[in-house]
Structure 1
């Protein structure tokens, strides 16, 4: 079968009566008497900027408090105290302040506490002696 080299012919117009006459207005949509559906928007959306600010401020907070510890035990206790304070600040920010910063604080404090308790767990497994007592 040979390929067609020229252009295809234009489509034929539809038969008479297929399209409505142009001077007739379109029908109204059903249920026009009902009110429009509401659109819900977040009044204070969380954006990336405040989250990054909360992450960076909390990271600095944990670096400062973690550097106060001279051993694993003191590092872990300083980190636990800093995490409790950071979570209290995150709750206050979520209720009364910027929720984006609260998310950043909560994420960074959870990560920092997880890292500290990972080191505690590794020492506990290696020595069979719980380092926090």
Structure 2
């Protein structure tokens, strides 16, 4: 059997290595928390995000029903996404950031789905369907 290496216990650092007073925690005034607590001034909650997602879903459905073929569906979706992102930017500055987050999530998802259909048609027919 091979010899086992037995490592010595960790040695304390040499004198002067640690700054003065590092061997004990600093004393805080009474009533102070042990560390700072950072809180978001305007937290984003679940209900506003879901309401923003629902509003954007209705928005994209309304624009999608205007389309008659893939070309018009793609361009209507691009228009709906650009306007939804503009609304999300305004809501971020002036309104509820939770609603803006929901709108932006659905806008990105809706545009991704439309571009997925465009890409599928492009790959299947070797013809770019947007021009």
TM-score greater than 0.5 by the shorter chain: yes
TM-score with structure 1 length normalisation?
Answer: 0.74
Other-structure match for 2:109: 111
Please, which of 90, 93, 99 is the counterpart of residue 92 of structure 1?
Answer: 90
Residue-by-residue CA offset, 1:45-95 (whole Å, 9 max, x unaligned): 101000000000000000000110101000000000000000011111111
Q: Distance in 2 between matches of 1:107 and 1:67?
A: 20
The residue number in structure 2 matching 1:132 is 130
Q: Where do residues 65-80 of structure 1 align in structure 2 (5 Å cutoff)?
A: 65-80=63-78
Deviation at 1:112, TM superposition (A): 0.5
Helix, strand or coil: the match of 1:102?
helix
Between the aligned partners of 2:55 and 2:48, the Cα distance in structure 1 is 10
Report the Cα distance in structure 1 between the residues aligned to 2:79 and 2:117, rounded to whole angstroms: 16
In the alignment, structure 1 residue 32 sits paired with structure 2 residue 28: yes
Report the CA distance between 1:35 and its aligned residue. Answer: 9.5
Distance across 2 between alignment mates of 1:30 and 1:39: 18
Q: Once superposed, what is the RMSD of the aligned Cα atoms? A: 1.8
TM-score computed with the length of structure 2 as normaliser:
0.75
Partners in 1 of 2:114 and 2:57 — Cα distance?
13
Q: Tell me which residue corresponds to 1:63.
A: 61
- Superposed CA deviations along residues 19-65 of structure 1, whole A, max 9, x for unmatched, are xxxxxxxxxx8423599443221111101000000000000000000
Greater radius of gyration (CA):
1
Q: Give the secondary-structure state (helix, strand or coil) at the position aligned to 1:31.
A: coil
Q: Which runs of 5+ in 1 are unaligned?
A: 1-28
